[in-house]
Amino acid sequence: MSTLKFKYAITIAGIILVIASCKKSKSGKEEKPVETDKPVITDAVKKLFIPIKLESENLTINLKYSENSALISEINGSDGYSVKINYENQLPFKGLKYKNNLPFKSIYFRKISNTDLKVTLFDVDGKVEIPTGSLILTRNPKDQLTSIQGSGNGPSYPYKESTWSYSPAGNVSDITVKDSHIDTTPIRYTHDEKNGIFKNIQHAQLLFLEIGYSFFCADINNRTSYSNTDKPLENTDFIYQYNADDYPKQLTITQSKQTFKITYLELK
């Protein structure tokens, strides 16, 4: 009898071991191994470029920068036009414009609030500076120009009061000009979705107000059209070819039928 009980005990123990083994086997199939050496995939580093040359059949424009920076120090055109820019505390302080190596206009920038600036304009005759007017530039927290309030009566003063609007992408979309108490919006722009030629230049929007080349654009993307209801003969489209980093390597202005090849420097 005791032998029979012993056999039963052995049999029951065996069954328990088999059941336990099956449970472990099942749980082992359901559990997934922890991957500890899986490679981490990151986005490719986007390169930052600044233009150093724009070259067409009849005009070459060279841009120079302060050392190891995106601050323009000089712009020199083969048409005899050039600009030199000085900075104080990384902000534009003075611009001096030349024609055939002779200075003819000076511009002074002065910060009047966290975002706003006053720009004072002078004609230059030899060593004499003749005031022609001033601008109050209002900017938003993103340092985008939102309005220009101007005053001046000098012979070279071209400005009217204006307000600037932006697209969701951050590009200038409309400029509303105030003239004799009537607000008109003669200027509209459209853009592509590629990297803007001048997008990485510091303070580009401020400087391009006075640079003298109308196709210089400080927007994040590139302008594809410009329309001016007051001056329809100025309306134009812009056509681009792009490099592997989605920056324009060629720009064609349809109104003037100019095509520029663009050379860049990579910011490190």
Question: Per-domain residue ranges for the chain?
Answer: 50-267
pLDDT of residue 9: 40
What CATH number labels 50-267?
Answer: 2.40.160
pLDDT surpasses 90 at 98: yes
pLDDT-wise least confident of 35-39, 58-62, 238-242, 245-249: 35-39
Q: Record the pTM.
A: 0.79
Express as a percent the part of the chain with pLDDT over 90.
65
CB-based contact 166:219 (threshold 8 Å): no
pLDDT of residue 152: 67
pLDDT of residue 194: 98
pLDDT, average across residues 61-78: 96
pLDDT-wise least confident of 14-23, 180-189, 251-260: 14-23
pLDDT surpasses 70 at 37: no
pLDDT surpasses 80 at 86: yes
Express as a percent the part of the chain with pLDDT over 70.
78
pLDDT surpasses 60 at 174: yes
- Start-to-end Cα distance in the chain: 91
pLDDT surpasses 70 at 65: yes
